[in-house]
A and B are shown apart, each in its own frame.
Chain A
Amino acid sequence: MKTPIYLDYQATTPVDARVLEAMLPYFTEHFGNAASRNHPFGWKAEEAVDTAREEVAKLIGSSSKEVVFTSGSTEAINLALKGAVEMYGDSDHGKVKGRHIITSLVEHKAVLDVCKHLEKNGCDVTYLTPDKTGRVSVEQIAEAMREDTLMVALIWGNNEIGTINPIREIGALCHEKDVLFFVDGTQAVGKIPVDVYADNIDLMCLSAHKMYGPKGVGALFVRRRQPRVRLVSQIDGGGHERGMRSGTLNVPSLVGFGEACRLCRENLEKEMAHTTGLRVRLEARIRASLDEVHLNGNADHLLPGCLNLSFAYVEGESLLMGINNSLAVSSGSACTSASLEPSHVLRAMGVGDDLAHSSIRFGIGRNTTEEEVDFAADRIIETVKRLRDLSPLYEMALEGIDLSSVEWAGH
């Protein structure tokens, strides 16, 4: 077993060896521009892009004509939200839907920041507070809907806590009310079954590097029937991707993206069982040796490979410092981010700042083994125990002092 062990699969994944192998000829031998229509170099590249598009479509249950390639999820989110507002928010473009957007406080910053931008441009955004497991309900969406609601924008599987939203039910409501439904599928696609038609999705972003493909490519699913969704492009010039996203296609990376999608589709059930099994094993082993461990997330609706735990009375950065030579994980602690604020996701769920500071996200993936998970659990256990021996809060808790009753001298 090699250390450090990578347990940060929500941040990114390694490129699968089979994906890399598929990509390599497209850097040197088949280097053509997919838009070169008049010679074999271009045809070869175009054929490869078509195959990749087919594979993306098969994985998400769409037609290949509904897949718009982008540089990743962030760009796809920008195109979906800004493009829809431009198309439908004003009276200039046919059907006017309005400028109200419903989203949640636990979205990725890519969605939240685009929403903030849209607010400056005359949109009205409702940010729903999820339940304490990070989940948004159909009822909440229904209550928030208005006459002028243009779109609901929600994350499918949360990147920090792994909670899965009831996408199919919310999608059905959106279609009943004639509201566009955008889904951030970045963490969900390739990890759980996704069928954009059965799930009632109009727009969905996905990213190759979260599913063992290369960084820098992704896609936006744009529905073409019932309803046909139209967007105003955000990157103009050349009219690539049906005019929705100009720019020469990154052929090698798209080949990799397609191959990554094929592998995810063909092995979905096996990988779900593998990662879920390891996640359950990791949590059980930690809980067997440590008390006061809190799950951040929804135990019944969790991404297979995501486990976010708070270790009460221990600060996250000091915990990471104790393990970061052997484990690569993430923390919701303030100190690990540039902002010095604890995770906005944990805050929105109502997790106290003290527990937010104590949170660790474990990301389990295709290459993770039982041996690695056991090793990780043991390192966590010994470090948490050592830091609790050092923790005045743990000592006070053992003495029976209610920490919430103490008047802290904050700074």
Chain B
Amino acid sequence: MAYSDKVIDHYDNPRNVGSLDKKASDVGTGLVGAPECGDVMKLQIQVEGDTIVDAKFKTFGCGSAIASSSLATEWIKGKSINDALLITNKEIVEELSLPPVKIHCSVLAEDAIKAAIADYKAKNVKV
């Protein structure tokens, strides 16, 4: 199977690999996918005000899944929460030139961003 150069680049040099303290109140964690399906993404954000100041990921999955989550962290860093929520899987597909069978990887990355933000919001409900 041929991978695009961008997928290979993210696979060879994944950006923002790692973990943030999931217990910290300024950190939101999204864990999406399932091992049986062959992909699991963990995406974490650290938020100051409403800006995502740091993002980390770890992914179990194919090269396209790794690249999608790596790209997602790159894109959301420095964005406001509301802007991050606007990122769609289509943009990821286009940027990485993912073939149709790999579109689910981009969907998973979008889900991971949304799940991390939802987790952060749940932790920081304004009273």
Contact = CB atoms under 8 A, between A and B. Distances in A.
Interface in B2-30: 3, 11, 14, 17, 19
A25 interface: no
Interface residues of A, number: 30
Interface string A331-351: 001111000101000000000
Interface stretch (B32-40, B71-79, B80-88): B32-40
Contacts of B33: 408-411
B104 A411 contact: yes
Given A315-B65, A357-B35, 8 more contacts: A315-B61, A317-B63, A318-B66, A352-B36, A353-B35, A392-B41, A408-B40, A409-B34
B114 to A, nearest CB: 12
Most buried by A among B3, B38, B104, B111: B38
Contacts of B63: 317-318, 321
A318 B61 contact: yes
Interface in A363-409: 389-395, 403, 408-409
A390 B14 CA distance: 9
A391 B59 contact: yes
10 contacts: A318-B63, A318-B65, A333-B38, A335-B101, A336-B1, A390-B58, A391-B58, A395-B58, A408-B34, A410-B36
Contacts of A342: 38
A245 B35 CA distance: 47
B36 A353 contact: yes
A315 B39 contact: yes
Which secondary structure dominates where chain B touches chain A? mixed
Interface in A299-349: 313-318, 321-322, 333-336, 340, 342
Interface in B50-77: 58-63, 65-66
B62 A321 contact: yes
A393 B59 CA distance: 8
A133 B75 CA distance: 46
Contacts of A390: 14, 17, 58-60, 66
- 4 smallest CB-CB distances across A and B, nearest first, come from A408-B34, A354-B35, A392-B42, A353-B36
Interface in A131-155: none
A409 B32 contact: yes
A315 to B, nearest CB: 5
A411 B107 contact: yes
B11 A321 contact: yes
Contacts of A317: 38, 62-63
Nearest to A389: B17
A403 B42 CA distance: 14
A16 B32 CA distance: 49
